[in-house]
Copies of this chain bind each other. A is one copy, B any other.
Amino acid sequence: MTTSISTGVFFGVGVGPGDPELLTLKAVRRLQQADALAYIVNSDGHSLAKQIAAPHLRAGAQIELPIRIEMCSDRRQAEQAYDEAAASIARLLDQGQDVAFLCEGDPLFYGSFAYLLARLAPKYPCVAIPGISSPQAASAATLLPLALQHENLAVISARCPDAELLDALSRFDNLAILKGGRKRSRVLELIAATGRTRDAVYLEHLTQTQQRVVRDVTTLDDEPGPYFSLFLVCRRKGAP
């Protein structure tokens, strides 16, 4: 006689930008109910997503699955790492364990969850729990609206071609330019070239203790900033 085990559910859980109080009630519940927690760790074994969620976790009560994925330009190496991570998660799902994958910000907004989802969704039930993203945290920190009434909003990577950034800066009322740290001086030039220096603010480490907000971006030096930095460029009403 055989007994059948139904497979577990794969959850992508957004933990928000940094402040542990910015998780949703649903994210906290899913993390606490999950049988296993998966998260990406850097070369030092540190996981920002796990650090954010830590106050809500039952220490030691869940299976933990740290996933080491090098953030490098070699996509083939990254693809292989995602293949292996998905296989490890699948083994737990096959045993009927629910696995929660912790994601900084929102799981489907520039997150690694999408790569695991693409591998696991064909075979397993998958659920995404949204989280507060960095543009939202930047908007709250500066009280600059991301969009009003008929305005539009572009979210764009600082790593895209100059022409694309210039075009978006010209056409959009409001922009969040992500991954702006390493390309900081180039982004500043493009913002100036479109006459939007007064619309721009620069932010790092949002909602974390080391949060930095620079409202006059002309005071920024040419040093590269951290990965978790962004520019917010918002149409100022009544500006001359």
- On A, residues with C-beta under 8 Å from B are 16, 19-26, 28-29, 106-111, 114, 117-118, 121, 126-133, 136-137, 139-140, 143-157, 159-160, 164, 167-168, 171-172, 237
Contact = CB atoms under 8 A, between A and B. Distances in A.
A172 B70 CA distance: 28
A127 B150 CA distance: 24
20 contacts: A16-B24, A21-B25, A24-B25, A24-B132, A25-B28, A106-B136, A108-B143, A109-B139, A109-B145, A114-B145, A118-B237, A130-B137, A131-B132, A149-B157, A150-B159, A152-B155, A152-B157, A152-B164, A154-B154, A164-B171
B153 A108 contact: no
A126 B143 contact: yes
A143 B128 contact: yes
Contacts of A147: 109-110, 155
